[in-house]
Amino acid sequence: MSKVGKVYLVGAGPGDPDLLTIRAVQRISIGDVIVYDRLIQQGVLALAKSSSEKIYMGKPPGHHCRQDEIHALLVEKARQGKTVIRLKGGDPFLFGRGGEEAEYLAEHGVPFEVVPGVSACLSAPLSANIAVTHREASSSVAIVTGHSAFGNGDRIDWHALARIDTLVFLMCVHNIETIAKNLTAAGRAPATPAALIQMAYWDGQHVVTGTLENIAARARTQEVEPPATLVVGEVVNLRERLQQLVAESERKSKQEEEVCV
């Protein structure tokens, strides 16, 4: 009987290969099999050895029916004695169903390791120069799934969320209007600033800003598609100032480089 291989549940971050952890790069490089999601850039897959078997198991937005197939595939390949890399966007244990995969592997006697990744809940706002906490505007932040497919709609305490300074909703594009209505019904002001960041750290990155009252309409007008992250709170109003500071810093750095040359 061949030795059972090991499965690595690896967080690939928001997409850009430069934002992978060192451990993630190391694990990807030793994989015999790479099982990857929809939001994995080719630059990340290029880090795998040329002989690795690459299997796409991405799920279209709103569809999660392939999870059983993924579970079975991970166990099958590991039992063939192969080192399996399960590449997941963001962090495996933050709305990535990594916990379910870890449980399944453990139940079937397959050893595994979880490698953290940079989550979109922090990196997407940062890509748009939004700090989710700030001394002047926010001392609390909550991360919420915006996807009804998780079946968590009735478990969300909207009144509690409405009192938190900054709210970050992942997987929320198709439910933005519902999210905004629930928050305002729970007491959050309709004029609360909001921003929607599409394709953070990808070539198609786009940012839509507005308020709870109009962010859904603006998203429709600008045809925002998944993946996108919604940020709600006064920190959104600080974006312009932070953008100016970042631009000024980059300008000075470029001048210094030109002087050195």
Q: Are strands 193-198 and 206-211 parallel, antiparallel or unpaired?
A: antiparallel
Kindly state the DSSP code that residue 18 receives in the 8-state scheme: G
52 residue type, one letter: S
Q: Given 16, 59, 165, 181, which residue is catalytic?
A: 59
* Helix H or strand E segment including 9: strand 7-11
* Helix H or strand E segment including 211: strand 206-211
Counting every residue written for the chain, the total comes to 261
37 is catalytic: yes
* Helix H or strand E segment including 178: helix 176-185
How many angstroms separate the CA atoms of 209 and 101, rounded?
36
Q: Given 6, 32, 37, 77, which residue is catalytic?
A: 37
59 is catalytic: yes
Sequence-ordered alpha helix ranges (H) in 21-148: 22-30, 42-45, 67-79, 98-107, 120-127
Contact 118, 90 (CB under 8 A): yes
Residue 152 phi, psi (nearest 5) = -100, 5
Contact 148, 124 (CB under 8 A): no
Contact 136, 109 (CB under 8 A): no
Catalytic residue numbers read: 37, 59
